[in-house]
Amino acid sequence: MSLCEQAGVSLASSKIVKTKSSIGRFGLALSGATMLAGVPFAAAAQEATPNTAQPTPTPAPSTNTIRSINVIGAERLEPTTILSYIRLRVGQEYTSAAADEALKDLGATELFANFSIRNEDGNVVINVTENPVINRIVLEGNDRIDNDKILPEIRLAPRQIFTRSKVRADVARIIELYKRQGRFAATVEPQQVSLPQNRVDIVFEITEGPKSKVRQINIIGNEKFSDGELRSEMVTKQSRFFRFFSSNTSYDPDRLAFDQQKLRQFYLTEGYADFRVVSAVAELTPDQQDFIITYVVEEGERYNFGEVEVDSQLRDFDGDALATGLGIQSGDFYNAKSVEDTVESLTELAGRFGYAFADVQPRFNRNPEDLTMDITFILRQAPRVYVERVDVNGNTLSQDKVIRREFRISEGDAFNSLGVLRTTARINSLGYFQENFEVSQVEGSAPDRIVLEANVEEQPTGELQFSAGFSSIERFILAGSIRQRNFRGRGQTVGLSLNFSQFSRSAQLSFTEPYLFDRNISAGADIYRRDFNSFNRFDGERNNTFEQATTGGAFRVGVPLTEFMSVVGSYTLNYDEVSLDEGIFFTDFNLDGIRGNSPEDFCDPLQAGRFLCDQLGDRLSSILGLSLNYNTLNSGFRPTRGRLISLSTEFAGLGGDVRYLRFRGRAQQFWDVANSGFIFSVSLEGGTIFPLREREGAGVDDVFLTDRFFLGEPQFRGFDIRGVGPRILRQNVATEGGVLILDDAGNPTFITDRDSVRDDAIGGRNYYLGRAELEIPLGTGARELGLRPSIWLDVGALWQVEQPVLQDQPQFIELVSNDDGTVSQVLTTNPIAADGETQNQVNFLSFREIFVGDSPSPRITAGIGVNWNSPFGPFRIDFAQTIRKVEGDDDKTLTFNVGTQF
């Protein structure tokens, strides 16, 4: 029996029904709710339940006087409390109307499962059965919405009195929660489990059903624009297989109302000022699974701008002059967005001149006869405003000065809206406070005074990070760092970082003071140790070559020149140790066959190459640097608009062993294309290095290998690491079964397969790299997953290095016996042994070296990439197609990088 039928009194007959002690059922709670409406309670008092009261005759006529009132069946409630709920009193006349009123009063309390009243010759007896106490609430079948999301939304709770009205309300509320998720087929069946001591468990059995999708969007009445064009303006999308990531394909009534506004905005921007949505109806499909939405629209006629004027009531502005500079012109198609932009620009212009409370109101005059829209922008009179006070509130850790020094408008200054916007941007860029912080503007003590308030909410600025990942560049990576970006609340940054991978290891301690001695001068210092293992490629594998260990430090000082431009000077001192594995690349014979004192006396060019042997040694680099930076980016993490330009120069030669002059330049520009979410960016960078000291030796470049530029992955997508630019390819002599393979002229042949060739990139003095990229916005579901795809094009080159001395003839090692009994290694180009009979199948090492890639000719690649904030950490993958390359370049189709934090 449903609990809607367990009313204690039957609402459909004159009998009183007893509540069963076994598990009851509510049935369809919402249908039961309608049965309760409008039923007179007098009908419920005709007959008591068998266990609680005996049937009594209809109350005596009004001449019966109430001599006593007794309450039977009360357990938790005191009888006097129950009597206080009704208006029957001793001494009154007992009438049917009075009994009905008493029954209504008892029912209104919702405290009783059964209740009745009878009159025994003036002795009134009230029989009650109290509603049970709720022991617990149980939810079953809810997989899509957790308990902690449902329980706070319902009225019933443990230790409360059970009432049917609360059950009905809770059923409706749970169904509403599922409707918000687009599950309109969800049903809720409440059940009651009776327990001893008049307690019950309430169980909500939930059938969630499938998510209701939008199967079709129909538009009726559109003639100027197609259905597809209008659907593209809506947030709600039709359910299709390729939108499996999108959450906008589910039906949402709020989104339906929003889409009507989107349609109106679209038509208003296209000049249809009379457009209106006549109706928007969402209907369930016959299978009760999805929705079909139908819009009926009236487009109206298209308007043009008529007369466009500015009526300025501010003395500093001439209306006619302002009208000539507006972005809208008479004769253009009417565009409501242009009107809004003009209001905003005029308000901002007034704010620049100190009118903080300038009011710009557009006045429209529609001319249906010639379909024109006259607009007058009215700049209402307002006083010029000055900053009375700057208040900083909410900072518990950061010192006031850390915030106040970012203000670009001071107390006593004329109000300037640009100064306020720039202040907001600078405080946001600190990263110490809540996102979307804004400087509030409050009226001051007089109409021409304003108070600026910085109401901040502190955020944690300490970072302790451990990360692990796998990179296509350095394979397995481990990193750890600790950093405090607001040390002691002074805005200072202190950090320690450690990194380890297959080819590099580093440790760095850094400190930055953004305002040295409370002046607008930044200063910082770094101390570091970096060990790098360079590598070449052979047989498709990376092989370690030279090792570079750098110990050093850097100090820098920055001074702002303008709001967006700064200059930074630096000094760096590095001690570099460049070495080769003596067990692999060294020998006890030099090229003249002279034996040394130990097996590791001479760098063996046959193993390492002359270009590597020339780089060995320890050297000290003393470097002065200067850079000029211009930055208007709206974010340092993921910019969507703005510009960055950086020019830098480095002079190495203030002492030390290295002499060069290096120049670098970089420029970036970001656009949010038509505020559509498509982010287009273009960047260009380049550099050159001039040696200031000549190094001795044929084929020895004046710039050390470790100081040159390198280009490839990850800067240049579509090429492997150091895959672009000058390189030396070592090709071995081809053999078969240990026997040389000779050509028709009797000369040895060489292996040219790239995977079997040793590939050493040697860098260059000049490079350039240009990139163009378009980031494509996805639906809400994909954005929530952190997916950001893009298409891109890269163009670049690396060139100019002294060509090393090459082994360009086949080289063989012949062991020759000396008169003193020793054996020397002698290089020869003759593959035949001295006895003229036996080939040096065992004792020769034959190869040739070729120099390639030294060209400024542009290399071009294009592809698609995806950034994903995955559960494992930031992930980037690029698929590239090489459009143009130069001989020797090492291209690559797939590049990825992934890491995580724990």
Tell me which long-range contacts 608-611 makes (C-beta under 8 A, separation of at least 24).
608/545, 608/580, 609/728, 609/730, 609/760, 609/804, 609/849, 610/699, 610/804, 610/805, 610/806, 610/807, 611/699, 611/705, 611/728, 611/760, 611/762, 611/804
Instruction: Check residue 738 and give its pLDDT.
Output: 63
Instruction: Check residue 534 and give its pLDDT.
Output: 65
**Cα–Cα dist 117/515, whole Å:** 85
Instruction: Check residue 854 and give its pLDDT.
Output: 93
**Cα–Cα dist 848/850, whole Å:** 7
Instruction: Check residue 172 and give its pLDDT.
Output: 92
CA-CA-CA-CA torsion sign (720, 725, 726, 729): positive
Instruction: Check residue 465 and give its pLDDT.
Output: 64
Q: In the beta sheet, which residues pair with residue 658?
A: none
| Beta-carbon-side half-sphere exposure of residue 578 (alpha carbons within 13 Å) | 20
DSSP secondary structure of 254-273? HHHHHHHHHHHHHHHHTT-T
Residue the block writes with tokens 């901040």: 456
Instruction: Check residue 821 and give its pLDDT.
Output: 66
* Collapsed DSSP state (helix, strand, coil) of residue 894: strand
Instruction: Check residue 837 and give its pLDDT.
Output: 46
User: How many Cβ atoms are within 10 Å of 880's Cβ, its own excluded?
Assistant: 22
Instruction: Check residue 283 and give its pLDDT.
Output: 87
Distances (CA, A) of 427 to 418, 511, 630, 632, 874: 14, 21, 18, 15, 26
Mutual angle of helices 336-352 and 253-269, in 10-degree steps:
80
Strands 617-631 and 565-579: antiparallel
Instruction: Report mean pLDDT in 10-residue bins for the chain, 902 residues.
Output: 37 31 34 32 36 47 74 84 87 87 86 86 87 90 87 88 88 88 84 88 89 88 90 86 72 86 91 91 82 92 90 81 80 88 86 81 89 89 85 85 85 83 82 79 84 85 65 60 84 87 82 89 93 63 70 94 91 88 63 49 68 80 95 78 94 91 96 84 96 85 90 88 88 75 77 81 94 85 73 96 78 64 60 51 63 94 85 74 92 70 36
Instruction: Check residue 29 and give its pLDDT.
Output: 34
Report the predicted TM-score, pTM, of the whole model to 2 decimal places. 0.60
- Terminus-to-terminus CA distance in the chain, angstroms? 55
User: How many Cβ atoms are within 10 Å of 506's Cβ, its own excluded?
Assistant: 16
DSSP E strands, 580-678: 586-587, 602-603, 617-631, 642-656, 660-672
Strands 812-817 and 660-672: unpaired
Burial profile 658-679: b = 16 or more Cβ within 10 angstroms, e = fewer: bbbebebbbbbbbebeeeeeeb
Distances (CA, A) of 843 to 626, 664, 748, 825: 55, 49, 16, 10
User: How many Cβ atoms are within 10 Å of 308's Cβ, its own excluded?
Assistant: 22
Phi, psi (deg, nearest 5) at residue 780: -60, -40
| Omega of the bond leading into 714 within 30 degrees of 0 (cis) | yes
Q: Identify which of 471, 388, 408, 424 has the alpha carbon closest to the alpha carbon of residue 874.
A: 471
